[in-house]
Structure 1
Amino acid sequence: MSDDNSSSDCRIPLRNLVNLVQCVRDRVKDGESNESHGDFNLPNFWETLAQAAKSTSQEATKLSLAFSKPPLPSEQDAEKMAESFQKSILALSTVYMWFPKSQGMTLRRIIRDATAQVLEGVVQLIDVILSTPLQSLSQEQLTSTGSVWSSCDQFAHLPKDNQAAVLSLLTSHIAVVKDAIEEMEQAQTEALDPFSDVLDDEDLDSRGNRDTYWSESDRQLMAPCRGLMKASAACLRKLTAAVKSNGNVNSSETIAQLDDLADITKDISPSVDDLALSLYPPMDYSGVQQNACKVAGVLVKVLEITRASHVCLEADQSWVEFLSGAVDHNLQKVGALAQGCG
């Protein structure tokens, strides 16, 4: 058999494998979990998932090495490697599908995304092997192999229950809102012209357009808007502390309440970003007011759901009430100033 034919033949199992992995990846992204009948053992789930991820990582290494130097594997050997890789892929996806929704949708989505990332990495690795000259180890192949290793390793660092999963999301939301507040405050304090750092000196000299500056009435309107943004950050910080101290995963009800908190808080940072963007000149007061209402509406829902959940103890009622009052106060000020200046 010629080298060309041998090369062509050993690619066939890889093409079949990549088609299967793509199907498994799509099923993981869109499929439903297999609800467990009886007790679900969470520690056993994590142990089995870690073993499946380790096996997938090892199979990726074996395949990458086999197609990185001569002699190329025979079609029979390539078929064996593909079958072994297929088993590890199916095991990984099957273990993920064991995870029931009742253990937490927030955690399930995190595990789903991590599993899908592994499968996507495997698809990319096989595509690289198929599209580059065989018997050579390209930088792209090294990178793709490393990507599979990294995505498999991340399972060890995922949150292990729904409380930890919700905490990880809340922490990420805090960082985004904090950045939006700091960016807005920096733009206000550093220069009268928020666009001076993105325009040439010639443009600055020749331009007298007040639409790139904040007027005094603009700045007055910005104050309660910043108040809403700071209330958003405070709400996320307080809720994070409450979930950390009081959250539990001892029942399907408390797990579902944590999911509700995760679902509603995801709207905070996008609404804060929209409000911050609308504050740049030229300022459309009606648009600012509309975005302020969106922020306030989200915060009201977050505080209502928090108040009704198990994470809100009697001692937490005071900050919930305080923030509710702060949201209402700032929203009223935005409305009055927007109407008076518009």
Structure 2
Amino acid sequence: MANKKKGSNNKKKAKSQGRNHNATTVLSLKRLLTALKELDEKGKDAINKANKNCSGQINIGIALKHWRELPDVVLQAYKMLSDSAELIRATSTKYTLLSKISVEDGSKLCDELRQACELVSTSAFLLHQAEVGCARSTRYFIKQRAIAIVSAVTQLIESMQNLRGLEGNVGAQLTGVLWSACDEVPKLPRGNRACMRREIFKWVGECNETMEEFAELVKASESTAGDIDSEDTALKSSGSEGGNGWDDFCENVGTGENYTSDELPIVRASLAIIKCSRGILGLALKAYECAGNIEAAAEDTNEDNKLTYISKEDIPQIGAILQWMSNLQEISRLIGVGVTDLGCLMYPPLNFDLSEKSDAKVEKIIWSNTQIGEQLLAQKDYLLTAAHFIIDATPYDQSIAIPMSEEVKELSSKLLAAIETRAEEASQGISDLLNTR
């Protein structure tokens, strides 16, 4: 009887020790997660320091050190991430199975999982070092992947520590989540070129989705706008006013499901601005290829503007070109985010209230003071800035020029004209509608 009691106590003690080891590991992983989340993917400190020492243009992007070819330290960081993810995937399976049998036995693999997570985090820390020269996009992708893996490991071990992972299929489900996080590692874009392009493709995709969504709304509204206007006229002519008219019912802003005939020109112009945004983002990709093709650049002198084309041996000028590319990526980011912000304001009925930045005491609302007008104006500025930035392509205090292809030059000119035209159409549409209110 005494031996049975002693054996039972030993099992309880072992189980308690296993849970304590799990708990200690969870605390370590949570500290690691906090450190990962605090990584400066935007490179604010490095950018501010560079701008203080810069007598020329203000840089808004992280200083890059590579484009197509990846330095050894970057290759090693990605290999460390891949190897660690494979180890975590394999170990997590054994950890879950052993924990189901004995929490103590499973906890013996905690150290192995923690060490692998530390290697995953180290790979992210390496690519965030300024001297490595990774872009904001590159930092972002590896940071998010590292967070996903470490977070999944933390949740799995924590579930065994509080015994929730032993209930039903909870442990298996959390292991599946961890597998998915690890399986995404081979799909991770690697290096500045791949990551910056992936980010722009994401913004282009958002442009396409926004255009498709609102094109359907415009199509539906075009088929009903005429009927609504006819009914509105009929109600007014029959004397149905004083609170019972169509305008009162709709509160002068439409039904909330479709656009009014007055709103349609504004939405069409806004969609055209989004189309221009997609065009500029595509243009940025082409400009990167021109700028990144440093090996093909030959030394020459342009007699018209006295700008010197660079060669790959001129390291300081290569640095200036890479900085130009980083700056263009940040301008493109403003465009990508701006498309999302503009899309949020395009749902019917359109909101023509004053923007938060406008003076609340203004006597008359003008188009640029409205929320949608302000966003359209901002998007126009982003697009024009990007187009001129690509056309000029003269970093490094105007001392060199990045040779752009004829295709890039032609597309830039067309987009510049389209941006101005579509922005004017949108502003005129808002002004016309405000004048009728």
TM-score (norm 1): 0.82
Answer yes or no: is 1:261 the counterpart of 2:261: no
Partner of 1:86 in structure 2?
A: 114
Distance in 1 of aligned mates of 2:337 and 2:379: 9
Instruction: Confirm or deny: 8 A CA contact 1:163 1:244 kept in the other structure.
Output: no
Pick from 342, 353, 376 the counterpart of residue 275 of structure 1. Answer: 342
**CA separation of 1:22 and 1:305: change in aligned 2, threshold 3 A:** farther
Question: Deviating runs (4+, > 6 A) in structure 1?
Answer: 309-312
Partner of 1:47 in structure 2?
A: 79
SS at match of 2:190: coil
Residue 267 of structure 1: how far off its partner (Å): 2.6
Instruction: Confirm or deny: 8 A CA contact 1:25 1:116 kept in the other structure.
Output: yes
Partner of 1:333 in structure 2?
A: 425
Pick from 269, 285, 294 the counterpart of residue 378 of structure 2. Answer: 294
Partner of 1:223 in structure 2?
A: 268
Distance in 2 of aligned mates of 1:21 and 1:128: 14
Instruction: Confirm or deny: 8 A CA contact 1:166 1:258 kept in the other structure.
Output: no
Aligned runs of 1:16-165 on 2, under 5 Å?
16-31=24-39, 40-68=72-100, 70=101, 72=102, 74=104, 77=105, 80-99=108-127, 100-101=129-130, 102-132=133-163, 136=166, 138-165=168-195
Partner of 1:236 in structure 2?
A: 281
Answer yes or no: is 1:313 the counterpart of 2:313: no
More helix per residue: 1
Instruction: Confirm or deny: 8 A CA contact 1:248 1:255 kept in the other structure.
Output: no
Kindly name which structure, 1 or 2, has the bigger radius of gyration based on alpha carbons.
2
Task: Specify the code of the residue in structure 2 equivalent to 1:247.
Answer: G
Distance in 2 of aligned mates of 1:152 and 1:287: 43
**CA separation of 1:244 and 1:81: change in aligned 2, threshold 3 A:** same
Instruction: Confirm or deny: 8 A CA contact 1:104 1:256 kept in the other structure.
Output: no
Distance in 1 of aligned mates of 2:403 and 2:174: 46
Distance in 1 of aligned mates of 2:26 and 2:186: 26
Residue 49 of structure 1: how far off its partner (Å): 2.4
**CA separation of 1:121 and 1:326: change in aligned 2, threshold 3 A:** same
Residue 174 of structure 1: how far off its partner (Å): 0.9
Aligned runs of 1:141-220 on 2, under 5 Å?
141-191=171-221, 192=223, 209=250, 211-212=254-255, 214-220=259-265
Task: Specify the code of the residue in structure 2 equivalent to 1:239.
Answer: A
Distance in 2 of aligned mates of 1:183 and 1:167: 24
SS at match of 2:327: helix
Residue 18 of structure 1: how far off its partner (Å): 0.5
**Structure 1: where are the runs of 5+ without partners?**
195-206
Residue 246 of structure 1: how far off its partner (Å): 5.1
Distance in 2 of aligned mates of 1:311 and 1:80: 58
**CA separation of 1:245 and 1:338: change in aligned 2, threshold 3 A:** same
Pick from 10, 13, 28 the counterpart of residue 18 of structure 2. Answer: 10
Distance in 2 of aligned mates of 1:323 and 1:164: 25
RMSD: 3.1
TM-score (norm 2): 0.66
Distance in 1 of aligned mates of 2:414 and 2:164: 65
SS at match of 1:321: helix
Q: Deviation per CA, 1:7-49, whole angstroms, max 9, x where unpaired?
A: 222111000001001111111221469x99xx64333332232
Partner of 1:203 in structure 2?
A: none
Instruction: Confirm or deny: 8 A CA contact 2:19 2:107 kept in the other structure.
Output: no
Instruction: Confirm or deny: 8 A CA contact 1:162 1:258 kept in the other structure.
Output: no
Distance in 2 of aligned mates of 1:252 and 1:269: 26
